[in-house]
Structure 1
Amino acid sequence: MRPTETFVVEDINEAHGFARLRVEGGSGLFHCGLFPEQGDGELSPLRLQLGDRVRGVRRGQTVSQVQWVSRAAPPEVLVRRMEELSRQLEARGLRVAVAPESLADHQWREGPGSPLLEALQPQLRLFFAWDEAHPFEDERLLDRVEQATAEHLPGFSVLPVPGVARFRVEPGSHVIVGGEPDWEEPARLFEPLVEHINQELGRAQALVRWMPVRDNWVLATQELVDLLVSNGVLQGRASA
């Protein structure tokens, strides 16, 4: 059985998807994939970066069974960027319960998903709750929209008109004709309702609107949405 050795990541080849390793305390470069193995044999979702210490088995010019010994700290400039983003979000009422170092490390290693979005999502007022149900099967959708909107528009309520794509909205006893229901693009049904609500929020001089983001709306200020989209926390909605 070949011995396990400890290596240091010396270089990352982005174009061809491999890392160059140097035996710790030795010389010569060896190759391995960008994603080390985890204890269960699956590949880590986080990739190697410069300065990582790993262990593995050398076979010729390659190293297999690569696992982390220790991970290098993310660049300080990225940590400072995450600190500033967290400060800006908290100034706008969104508490970030994830350390800037962890956010920076996840971004640096191109991890899947967004730990920042996961931390913020319970605080965001989203129109659709995709993680719970498709909008057409979400029995709480209008109750959730009503509750969030009423915080900025007292007396607001919205009820579906049974059997047709219409919504009864108070105050004013308005009947809003919805768009054509489309399972693949459920936003079409609700667009006229969102437009009406935003008009009413404007008349009430509220600071927030139901702002469009990818596959959804979020009740927030334009400034906050711009901050979230520009930092990749939310994705903007593509133009038609």
Structure 2
Amino acid sequence: MPPTDTFVVEDINEAHGFARLRAEGGSGLAHCGLFPELPDGELSPLRLQVGDRVSGVRRGQTVSQVQWLAQAEPPREWVQRVEELLRRLADRGLPVSLAPEPIANHQWREGPGSPLLDALKPHLRLFFDWERAHPFEDERLLDRVEKATAEHLPGFSVLPVPGVARFRVEPGSHVISGGEPDWENPMGLFELLVEHINQELGRAGASVRWSPVHDNWVLADQDVVGLLVANGVLQGQASA
């Protein structure tokens, strides 16, 4: 087995997808990919950052089998940004029992998903549950939407009209037409339904709406959704 050396990440080249490393106690730079290996050999979903200490096998100017020895702490401004976000969420009745440092580290290293969003999901309520199934294969979708909406709109119910893209909504015995089903854009089927629900929420004086985000809607106060989009916790809809 070739010997391993220890290195410090000196620079990140995002455009070309590699990190520059300097050997501890040595001179000259080498490079490696942005994502180190985990102990099981899989690549980490979190990328390297400047200041990380790593081990690896050097072959010329390339280092392979890179693994973390110690991670650099996220910059203070990243932590302060998350601290402010957590404070503002708590002021809106959404306290989160997570420390700001790991959230900031996850964002700084561009990790997939969001630990903060995972903690908030029970309070926000998502229209689609992509982790469970594609919306057209999710048999619990309307039940979930009905339950979440009824917390703010008593007596609300929604049922599919068999054989057609329509929904029967109570109160009022409304029949809402759905858009043309499109596997690549399932939101289109439900847009008029969501528009109707939001109108009814407004008439009932509720503060929440089903607000559009990337490939989904989220049930929450609109200022909370805007706050989460602005801080990268939720991804907003792309501009037309």
* Same fold per superposition (TM over 0.5): yes
Give the stretch that moved more between structures: 193-202 or 113-122. Answer: 113-122
Name the SS for the 1:93 alignment partner: coil
Deviation per CA, 1:124-146, whole angstroms, max 9, x where unpaired? 21112222122222222222222
Shift of 1:84: 1.2
**Inter-CA distance 42–160: structure 2 relative to 1 (3 Å threshold):** closer
**Aligned equivalents of 1:15 and 1:182: distance in 2?**
35
**Aligned equivalents of 1:156 and 1:51: distance in 2?**
54
**Aligned equivalents of 1:124 and 1:195: distance in 2?**
18
Structure showing greater Rg:
1
**Aligned equivalents of 2:239 and 2:7: distance in 1?**
48
Give the stretch that moved more between structures: 101-110 or 23-32. Answer: 23-32
Shift of 1:2: 4.5
**Aligned equivalents of 2:21 and 2:196: distance in 1?**
59
**Aligned equivalents of 2:16 and 2:166: distance in 1?**
54
Identity of aligned residues (%): 80
Shift of 1:187: 2.1
Shift of 1:89: 2.0
- The residue that corresponds to 2:118 in the other structure is 118
- The residue that corresponds to 1:226 in the other structure is 226
- The residue that corresponds to 2:62 in the other structure is 62
Name the SS for the 1:195 alignment partner: helix
**Inter-CA distance 30–181: structure 2 relative to 1 (3 Å threshold):** closer
- The residue that corresponds to 1:131 in the other structure is 131
Root-mean-square deviation (Å): 2.1
Shift of 1:239: 4.2
Name the SS for the 2:237 alignment partner: coil
Is the aligned partner of 1:33 residue 2:36? Answer: no
**Aligned equivalents of 1:61 and 1:163: distance in 2?**
63
Deviation per CA, 1:57-106, whole angstroms, max 9, x where unpaired? 33333333222111111111101111111222232233434321111111
**Aligned equivalents of 1:12 and 1:125: distance in 2?**
37
**Aligned equivalents of 1:221 and 1:212: distance in 2?**
12
Shift of 1:215: 1.8
**Aligned equivalents of 2:23 and 2:185: distance in 1?**
53
Name the SS for the 1:3 alignment partner: coil
Shift of 1:113: 2.5
Is the aligned partner of 1:204 residue 2:218? Answer: no
Matches within 5 A, 1:35-50: 35-50=35-50
**Inter-CA distance 131–12: structure 2 relative to 1 (3 Å threshold):** closer
Residue type at the aligned position of 1:196: H
- The residue that corresponds to 1:91 in the other structure is 91
Structure 1 alignment gaps of length 5 or more = none
**Aligned equivalents of 1:186 and 1:29: distance in 2?**
49
Shift of 1:227: 0.9
**Aligned equivalents of 2:72 and 2:116: distance in 1?**
21
